[in-house]
Structure 1
């Protein structure tokens, strides 16, 4: 069938390109993920969308297509999802600390992302250093939750079909829609609460439209170097959506102004040093950075609100 007719719409440059409908976006991504198109077409798709940017409908179609190919979890599991695709560059990667703090509150946590990045310290590497579970199938996920531990799931396990498109980055030198889709990815099964983070302010509005359009449960925030964890030095704005509806009473405003005191963070962002720091915080030897305390409290409240919403919805449909 091919995707040339779609490339003609999206490949006319930033000003001339036209957006696809949600159904067209799903059809296009189906062909790309199933690899029924040529390598040239896949590369053209990646570059065209990189220049054009995704509309709300296109992003909804792309993510729905990827979700259909994702790992299936038990219907009663309603985890917090932490997509970890950037890792640490300058600051220590505290995504595993956030995951551990949430697990201590009784919240099932699933972290997903790549194994390695040549220029950054990945969350996978920190999970290995900390001896935390890394699941290779759904049974491994549920085993970790039964032990009240957070679990890391490689993208290749969560959604194998998405990996070749993600790896085009190393061929083309640019990210493509797969990287946005990966951060919004959900396993198949019952509802989940996604932490959706952005690095540039303009993406806050784009992600808000997506969450409302898709009726998602989510915490939307500015991430730390692209990670779904609050900056340990200053709390970002935390916006909560339940079934796509903003719930400002569940969120937090950003901390503004000059900081009176900086938290004691590791001097280095390497995996070994960061793991020692995380262990010290979890054991109580060092204090939890204030912004992470706030993020955990917000996520625990939002997780409870999500469960209540899902239970009411289930009762009405029964």
Structure 2
């Protein structure tokens, strides 16, 4: 069956397009991920959604369909943190691995998922982890082994969800990102984990806030650093903590205001080897952790503690 009826709804331009229901979005994305569409239809979908923008209900349907193809991962035994890393470093060093390593050092199981290589040449988290002796995990058992060793686990999207990886792979052909990239950044790949959801454009903050609310998510929403789920080392962004879909104002952090009076110590370059060498210095205590990342670390630890408290209270009430 053709997806033309869906394209007719979503392809009428920014002002004329109509949104899909969650069920329709689920069906549409299922057809795409199952490979039941032509290349022409796939391109039409990607461009139509790029112009229209996804509604929270559509995002929920897309995620529902995508989770059906996602690799089952082991239970970490503790509340984990999920870091989607799909942008990499362009002008600033990619410090997502630093955040992951700091969390792991505090006993938090961390799963980072993303691209192994970026077609535009950005420096991926995978490249930096590999320089640190933590190459991408080839399977779920290796993820469990990394957690058991107190290390963060990076898994490639090709391993985590191959159909989604194929959808992301059309970006170089079209020259534009598509709905698959948004889905990847909000994917609850490890059920129950605290997701760090980042956005690059203000309009996404609105739709993602509603999505996290509607789906009763456990997450931290923030503006990413060049699209990465880590605080800008120069200035702390706003961090909104969601507990079961409700914003926890006490655990959330306001953005840093005012004029910067001091710049952080950063790697001399953004390449993987230089970044990894700097991260070793930071972890050894010979270079400071940038203050915004230290704040993000504390925010995530507080959000995890609050989440554990909520789960304990729920278990107690059931008992």
TM-score for the superposition, normalised by structure 1:
0.96
- Mean Cα deviation higher: 236-245 or 303-312: 303-312
**Which runs of no fewer than 5 residues in structure 2 stay unpaired?**
none
Aligned to 2:56: 56
Checking the alignment, whether the CA contact within 8 Å between 2:69 and 2:161 is kept in structure 1 is yes
Give the count of matched residue pairs. 317
1:182 aligns with 2:184: yes
Give the ranges of 4+ consecutive aligned residues of structure 1 lying more than 6 Å apart after TM superposition: none
The CA distance in 2 between the partners of 1:168 and 1:314, in whole Å, is 44
CA-to-aligned-CA distance 1:122-181 (integer Å, 9 cap, x gap): 100000011125211111111100011001000011111101111111111111100000
CA-to-aligned-CA distance 1:278-316 (integer Å, 9 cap, x gap): 110001111111111100000011112222323444555
1:250 aligns with 2:251: yes
The Cα of 1:119 is off from its aligned counterpart by 2.1
The CA distance in 2 between the partners of 1:191 and 1:306, in whole Å, is 10
Checking the alignment, whether the CA contact within 8 Å between 1:70 and 1:186 is kept in structure 2 is no
Aligned to 2:93: 92
The CA distance in 2 between the partners of 1:42 and 1:13, in whole Å, is 17
Aligned to 1:149: 151
SS at match of 1:250: coil
Aligned to 1:106: 107
Matches within 5 A, 1:77-88: 78-88=79-89
The CA distance in 2 between the partners of 1:144 and 1:312, in whole Å, is 30
Checking the alignment, whether the CA contact within 8 Å between 1:86 and 1:120 is kept in structure 2 is yes
The CA distance in 2 between the partners of 1:20 and 1:176, in whole Å, is 16
- Mean Cα deviation higher: 45-54 or 131-140: 131-140
Aligned to 1:123: 125
The CA distance in 2 between the partners of 1:226 and 1:30, in whole Å, is 26
The Cα of 1:203 is off from its aligned counterpart by 1.5
The alignment yields a C-alpha RMSD, in angstroms, of 1.4
SS at match of 2:201: coil
The CA distance in 2 between the partners of 1:126 and 1:34, in whole Å, is 32
Aligned to 1:46: 46
Distance 1:202 1:119, change over 3 A: same
The CA distance in 2 between the partners of 1:142 and 1:314, in whole Å, is 26
Checking the alignment, whether the CA contact within 8 Å between 1:133 and 1:144 is kept in structure 2 is no
TM-score for the superposition, normalised by structure 2:
0.96
- Mean Cα deviation higher: 76-85 or 25-34: 76-85
